[in-house]
Structure 1
């Protein structure tokens, strides 16, 4: 008997727990519960938290507002990793509190790169040619 195909993406449980951890971490950062000079000077966003399939490792993607000074912010968060893990254990009801690692969120830079590509002359020329072709096809259909 054949086994069912393994799902390629995260499970619903991984997504739900990741979102709970993201909310708890964002709340801690917004309230200033983590006492650190570097974190006090920055507004830090947490766009995503990904969990391993066994829910024991959480990767939190963070970005300071404006995208500057990411290295000191990640270093500060890493320095308070034990405290953050303990607080998340209290706020999110899990059997095990996951180990947390912090990474820079690159999605904003990727979105800017895609916007620049879409705004290039070559793409504008291609989309304009496509629009002209569609307009001609519609005019032919109307006759």
Structure 2
């Protein structure tokens, strides 16, 4: 008898709803439907939205263009959370409009960190001499 495996990530439904909400938030911000001077003055990217399993909480990861004024933009989004939630509910047909939470998207920082690691002398040295590892004979079964 096969055991049922527990899912390790979000369900397809969570992913589908998250993507719909991401598009709705991006559209509202792009069109300027929320009247806020901070939001109007910035181009805001919404690279990802994650949904809770019950679809009642949506966490939107945002990044202002160029990474400028992150704190004021996050504060403006928090101030206008109710209006954004209403706009999302209007655009996405769900039984319940999810509560919105806005966090800074840190994937750009992580990508920069990985790029910096790949540019270090140690990594560059390892990448330039792959033949050195093959010549040591330890991994070659025919060397004996």
RMSD (Å) for aligned C-alpha atoms: 2.0
Determine the C-alpha separation between the residues in 2 that align with 1:92 and 1:131. Answer: 56
Q: Tell me the TM-score normalized by structure 2.
A: 0.89
Question: 2:72: which partner in 1?
Answer: 72
2:137 corresponds to = none
- Structure 2 residue aligned with 1:98: 98
- Whole-angstrom distance in 2 between the partners of 1:72 and 1:83: 17
Superposed CA offset, 1:47-77 (max 9, x none)? 0000000000000000000001111001000
Structure 1 unaligned blocks of 5 or more: 135-143
Question: Which residue is 2:20 aligned to?
Answer: 20
Following TM superposition, by how much is the alpha carbon of 1:3 offset from its aligned partner in structure 2, in angstroms?
4.9
Task: State the aligned residue count.
Answer: 137
Distance 1:28 1:6 in 2: 36
Gaps of 5+ in 2: 135-144
TM-score (norm 1): 0.89
In structure 1, what is the Cα distance between the partners aligned to 2:50 and 2:20?
11
Distance 1:53 1:65, change over 3 A: same
Which segments of structure 1 move beyond 3 Å, counting only runs of 4 or more? Answer: 131-134
